[in-house]
Amino acid sequence: MKKSLLLASLLSLFLVGCSSTPINDASKPTGPSVSNDEKDLDLASLRDPNNILSKRSIYFDYDKDVVKAEYKDLVAAHAKYVSTHPKAKMTLTGNTDDRGSREYNVSLGQRRSVSVKKSMNVLGAQDTQIETVSFGEERADTNCKDDACYGKDRRVDISYEKE
Amino acid sequence: MKKYNFSMLNIFKIFISLYFFSFIHSNAFAIETIEISGGGTKQINIAVMPYKEIALDKTNSRMHQIIAADLYRSGFFRPLDIEGLVNKPSILSEINYPEMTAIEAQVMTLGQVEINNNRMKVNWFLVDINKKTILTTMEFSGPVAQYRAIAHKISDTIYEKLTGIPGVFSTKISYISKNKGRYSLNVADADGFNVQSVVGSPQPLISARWSPDGTKFAYVSFEKKKPIIYIQSLVTGQRTVVANFKGNNSSPSWSPDGRRLAIVLTYNANSQIYLIDPDGSNLKPLIQSAHIDTEPVWSPDGKFIYFTSDRGGRPQIYKVSSSGGEPQRVSFEGNQNLNPNISPDGKMLSYVMQDEGRFRVVLHDLQTGQITKITDGPFDEAPKFSPNGHVILYAHKINGSGELSTVSIDGVVRQSFNIHADDIREPAWGPFVK
């Protein structure tokens, strides 16, 4: 006796002819800033290469989230900028090297951005103006062989909504 | 401000082709089973003969190569070298049993592939060499476009016949590729063939997880300069935001019934685990601590959530009831343990152990507590059990570039995928689809 059965791998059906969903880059500049922002937010000071506010990266020791003394002035300058410009919105983005799992590294990078935020809170910067996020190892140099190289990945980058 | 042009139109052009293939099962022969012992510690010697291809264009059969590669990768079979054999049978009467015994074959498979007008028909046999009996004989037919799918179905049938457990050769895997600075979430056959892109982005994509019914993905995209969790349907291509709160939104994990997701949110603090409905409603914290809690995974019965936490200093694996409560530590060996995944029967954990400077995949038997290192590192990550629990798919690095491999759960057979991309990572294994 013969019996026939119909079989279908659902996924192979769904995926036949399926084209990928493209996402375009959100990082491209969106045009010139409004002149009010230039004045209200003193954007020139953020861009002035001689101003400490143009320095945007804080580096960490291996497996540490303590903000080192050498970044005291940098952290203080940005904290002051945020507290004196209530309309300013800052993002602190944590990063790690590429060792370990991607999700755990998102959490490690976050711990570093939170550490920087707390240092700024002490100096009067409000949480409502700061967002702490993490890219984990996603921006790490994947060809590192020594700690000098890994060290460049262990950092928090400061950016502003308008700058 | 328009941040991205999400061209969904393409995805709606999905063409659902009704490629069914049918098989006819003949019960003309007595079916017997081979005894195998030790759950993978002993491999079965199988002679996979070239299936004789009867076609107008006279292309050589590659069906046996697909089957032999499938069976080898599983870790339960040792496909024998049959190149030197004088006799290469494709029908039962051609079998030379003494020759098969000489190469120590325990079983052999042989068959014929007929191709006509874009249709194909495969008549094949699985034979016990010692007993000289037929274990299985079947006829599979379908369109030629299903050539590899039919080969995988034969592998599945052989696998289940000889191990008693369904094969995973017809299932799908997924991974993230990075090619020329562009990221893509891809779906492929379990052997890495038939790659199809589900979503592409100029910014990183991580943590893609199949829904339990295999029709959707939850994943994390950095396209808005921070991690945000999306769900995307494989059927319609439609994409929705699950979680876009202040701070990070990451590490989605489907509950076994597909009705809840465990996710990780930060707001302005450390990673914490929450539960949420797939439509983004009904958010509630699972546990709250001042430490990092991340990488949640549900037990198959839905009762527990395993996760990674640094509450003990270094990252270790913990578990907590899915209704909340006090977490219990699960991993104790090694400098740090992270990236947990649980076997389909809930009896084994696989995770990454960092010890002696190496990140290795380990298997943790939750009943006996025994821990076995099944890879050598140095940078292995993201282990994922196959739907039958026999193989683990994981990511590793070669000269800074990501690759995928499978390892049998006894650690004996490791096989890399031959996927062409600058960098591949973040594997996941789709469910059995009935």
| Closest residue, chain B, to A30 (C-alpha) | B1
Q: List the single best residue of B2, B15, B175, B222 to mutate versus A (max A Cβ within 10 A).
A: B222
Residue with more model confidence, B193 or B7: B193
**B227 inside 8 A of chain A by CB:** yes
Which amino acid makes up residue A103? E
- C-alpha B220, offset from chain centre: 20
Q: Is A63 on the interface with B (CB under 8 A)?
A: no
Q: Which of B177, B195, B165 is nearest to B408 (CA)?
A: B165
**pLDDT > 90? residue B421:** no
- A69-78, B40-49, B234-243, B278-287: range with lowest mean pLDDT: B40-49
For residue B70, give the H/E element and its range.
Answer: helix B63-74
Q: CA dist B155 to B72, B159, B407, B428, B434, Å?
A: 10, 6, 18, 21, 17
Q: CB contact, 8 Å: A146 with chain B?
A: no
pLDDT digits (tens, 9 = 90+) for B182-202: 999 999 999 999 999 999 999
B378: cis peptide before it, omega within 30°? yes
Residues in a beta bridge with B13: none
pLDDT score of A112 more than 70: yes
Nearest CA in chain B to A138: B204
The pLDDT value given to residue B22: 37
Q: Which residues of chain A lie closer than 8 angstroms to B17, CB-CB?
A: 13, 16-17
Residue in this structure with the two tokens 């399926």, named with its chain if needed: A18
Question: What pLDDT score was predicted for residue A32?
Answer: 55
Q: For the domain B172-429, what is the CATH code? A: 2.120.10.30
Measured distance CA(B100)–CA(B140) in Å, rounded = 25
> How far B2 CA sits from the closest chain A CA (Å)?
8
Q: Residue B39: is its pLDDT beyond 60? A: no
Q: Do A133 and B248 touch (CB under 8 A)?
A: yes
Beta bridge partners of A58: A156
Which class in CATH covers the domain with range A35-160?
Answer: alpha beta
Residues 2-61 of chain A with CB under 8 A from chain B are: 2-27, 30
Q: Furthest-apart CA pair in chain A: how many Å?
A: 88
Question: Chain B partners of A133 at a C-beta cutoff of 8 Å?
Answer: 225-227, 247-248, 266
Distance from CA of A112 to the nearest CA of B (A): 9
pLDDT at B361 over 90: yes
Instruction: Report the alpha-carbon distance of residue B52 to residue B113 in Å, rounded.
Output: 6
Whether residues B27 and A111 touch (CB distance < 8 A) is answered with: no
Distance from CA of A145 to the nearest CA of B (A): 9
When CB atoms are compared, the residue of B26, B339, B400 closest to A104 is B339
Q: Which of A6, A16, A26 sits opposite B225 (nearest CB)?
A: A26
Share of chain A above pLDDT 90, in %: 66
- Report the pLDDT value the prediction gives residue B214, as an integer from 0 to 100: 97
Interface membership of A142 toward B (CB under 8 Å) = yes
Q: Which residues face B408 on adjacent strands?
A: B391
Closest among B193, B198, B255 to B221, alpha carbons compared: B198
Minimal-distance CA residue of chain B relative to A161: B225
- What proportion of chain A, given as a percentage, has pLDDT over 70? 80
Which pLDDT belongs to residue A28? 54
> Would you kindly state where each structural domain of chain A is located, as residue ranges?
35-160
Mean pLDDT for chain B?
89
Residue A126 confidence (pLDDT): 96
Which one-letter DSSP state was computed for residue B379? B
**Shortest Cα distance from B74 to chain A (angstroms)?**
20
Q: How far is residue B271 from each of residues A104, B245, B409, measured CA to CA in Å?
A: 9, 13, 31
Residue of chain B whose alpha carbon sits nearest to that of A99: B379
Chain-centre distance for alpha carbon B58: 34
> Is B268 at the interface with chain A, CB within 8 A?
yes
Phi-psi region of B117 (alpha: psi -120 to 50; beta: other; left: phi over 0): left
Task: Please say if the pLDDT value at position B176 is more than 50.
Answer: yes
Between CA B285 and CA A14 the distance in angstroms is 35
Question: What average pLDDT does range B158-164 have in this prediction?
Answer: 95
* H or E element that contains A102: helix A102-122
Query: Across all residues in chain A, what is the average pLDDT?
Result: 85
Chain A CA closest to residue B431: A11
| Alpha-carbon separation of residue B67 from A52, A88, B63, B386 (angstroms) | 64, 62, 6, 18
pLDDT in tens, B369-399: 999 999 999 999 999 999 999 999 999 988 7
**How open is the CA angle B60-B64-B69, to the nearest 5 degrees?**
125
- How far is A13 from chain B, CA to nearest CA, in Å? 6
pLDDT on residue B400:
76
Share of chain B above pLDDT 70, in %: 89
User: Chain A contact for B195, CB < 8 A?
Assistant: no
- A78: tokens are 């940005």
For position B42, what pLDDT does the model report? 74
Confidence band for A154, pLDDT divided at 50, 70 and 90: very high
Domains of chain B, residue spans: 22-163, 172-429
pLDDT band at residue B8 under the 50/70/90 scheme: very low
Residues within 8 A of A (CB atoms), B 381-410 only: 381-382, 397, 399-401
Tell me: pLDDT of B38 over 90: no
| pLDDT, tens digit, 9 for 90 and up, residues B65-119 | 999 999 998 889 999 999 889 889 999 999 999 999 999 999 999 999 999 888 9
**pLDDT (0 to 100) of residue B401:** 86
What was the pLDDT predicted at B57?
A: 63
| Better pLDDT: A12 or B239 | B239
pLDDT reading at A48 higher than 90: yes
Q: How far is A106 from chain B (nearest CA, A)?
A: 8
Q: Which of residues 234-253 of B touch A (CB under 8 A)?
A: 234-235, 237, 239, 246-248, 250-251
Is the ipTM above a cut-off of 0.95? no
Q: Cβ separation of B430 and A11 shorter than 8 Å?
A: yes
Interface test with A, best of B268, B318, B335 (most A CBs within 10 A): B268
User: What architecture (CATH level 2) is domain B22-163?
Assistant: 3-Layer(aba) Sandwich (3.40)
Instruction: Tell whether the model's pLDDT for residue B309 goes beyond 70.
Output: yes
- Facing residue for A23 by CB, picked from B6, B149, B426: B6
**Per-residue pLDDT for A42 more than 70?**
yes
pLDDT at B220: 98
Percent of chain B with pLDDT over 90: 79
Res. B23: pLDDT tops 70: no
